[in-house]
Structure 1
Amino acid sequence: MQEKTCLECGTKIFGRIDKKFCSDQCRNSYNNKLNSDGTNYIRNINNILRKNRRILMSLNPNGKSKTHRSKLAEKGFDFNYFTNTYTTKAGAIYYFCYEYGYLPIDNDFFALVKKQEYVD
């Protein structure tokens, strides 16, 4: 029978035959290293989406309003990130950050909306 060693620290493993780590600490450390690049990327995008949502929420306290592009940009809104889109029958495209959305309208203005039935 071959001796098994911990995938993280290399120490000899005792116990179950399918055991890969000598402790929970080594298991967590190994998995954190394995996922760190992807986790940072996802964390950064989620932070942008949450910030966009907070900005839309602050400018739209009553569920429907209108604002100018400069007001969104001034608060740090990033137009490259949104969670989903909704296209109306007329072809208008609403961009959503979770339940808060915006529709580009004339002269760099945006109609802001809150989707009430977002989650069933």
Structure 2
Amino acid sequence: MKKCLNCGKVLEGRSDKIYCDVHCKSSYQYQQTKIKGASFYQKVDKQLKHNRKLLKNYNKAGKATIRASALHKEGFDPNFFTHYWKNLKGDVYLFVYEYGFLKRKENNIEKYVLILWQDYMNN
């Protein structure tokens, strides 16, 4: 007699059945994910989404400058980005999807110049 992996109820039906219903299957898989912790992919994806959200919130007009400490305090991590773009001056902007940032130092204060991806950057 086989029992459900999640609730322990006796299983009826197919011989290869391991859960009594879809709710038990979902619950069991959710519990396993909690035990194992987030995968590397999930951690990277979560940080990218968080970075994008912060850049979007601070860059309402399409171009802005903000102190690096303000972004870092909210959990921004500049090591997580999706691509980069190099302008004619040689500055390399790192992008999190459509929101870009460039680290600058002005008056001994680290800042980020925030920009929005433009069509001309495709070339």
TM-score (structure 2 length as normaliser): 0.66
**Aligned residue for 2:3?**
5
User: Deviation of residue 14 (structure 1)?
Assistant: 0.6
Matched, 1:54 2:56: no
Amino acid at match of 2:42: I
Instruction: Indicate conservation of the 8 Å contact 2:44/2:80, yes or no.
Output: no
Q: How many residues end up aligned between the 2 structures?
A: 112
**Aligned residue for 2:97?**
98
**Distance change in 2, residues 1:15/1:79 (3 Å):** same
Residue ranges of structure 2 left out of the alignment (5+ in a row): none
After superposition, the C-alpha distances for 1:62-108 in whole angstroms (9 at most, x for unaligned) are 2122233244346x242355332315277543233332120112332
Residue ranges of structure 1 left out of the alignment (5+ in a row): none
Indicate the SS of the match to 1:57.
Answer: helix
Structure 1: 4+ residue segments shifted above 6 A: none
Q: Percent identity between the aligned chains? A: 31
- Note the aligned Cα RMSD (angstroms): 3.0
Instruction: Indicate conservation of the 8 Å contact 1:82/1:95, yes or no.
Output: no
**Distance change in 2, residues 1:70/1:63 (3 Å):** same
Matched, 1:21 2:19: yes
**Aligned residue for 1:79?**
77
User: Deviation of residue 42 (structure 1)?
Assistant: 3.1
CA distance in structure 2 between the aligned counterparts of 1:79 and 1:115, rounded to whole angstroms: 19
1:108-119 paired onto structure 2 within 5 Å: 108-116=110-118
TM-score (structure 1 length as normaliser): 0.68
After superposition, the C-alpha distances for 1:1-32 in whole angstroms (9 at most, x for unaligned) are xx322122232211122211112222111111
